[in-house]
Amino acid sequence: MANNSKYNKLTVEGEIQTKWICGCFETVDGFFKFCTEHNNAMRKTIEAQIDELDMTLIVDDKRSD
């Protein structure tokens, strides 16, 4: 795994030195990057939570009534 020094790996507790066991990481600006092993599982998990938490609203409904 290549270490990209422009990203700081964070934990919920803040800037603690941690060692991730895969290629997943969080950027300093709060975005997550998932390795190829975990990408599909995390995408499904996030999409399920977005639906369950009702975090979206319809802005353009293309259905015809």
Model pTM greater than 0.75?
A: no
Taking only the tens of pLDDT, the chain with its 65 residues reads 455 445 555 555 666 666 677 888 877 787 888 999 999 999 999 888 887 888 778 888 787 66
From CA 62, how far away is CA 2, in angstroms rounded?
44
DSSP state letter for 21: S
User: Could you identify the residue written with the tokens 């639906």?
Assistant: 51
Q: Closest Cα to residue 28, out of 3, 11, 41, 47?
A: 11
Predicted confidence at residue 5, as pLDDT, reads: 47
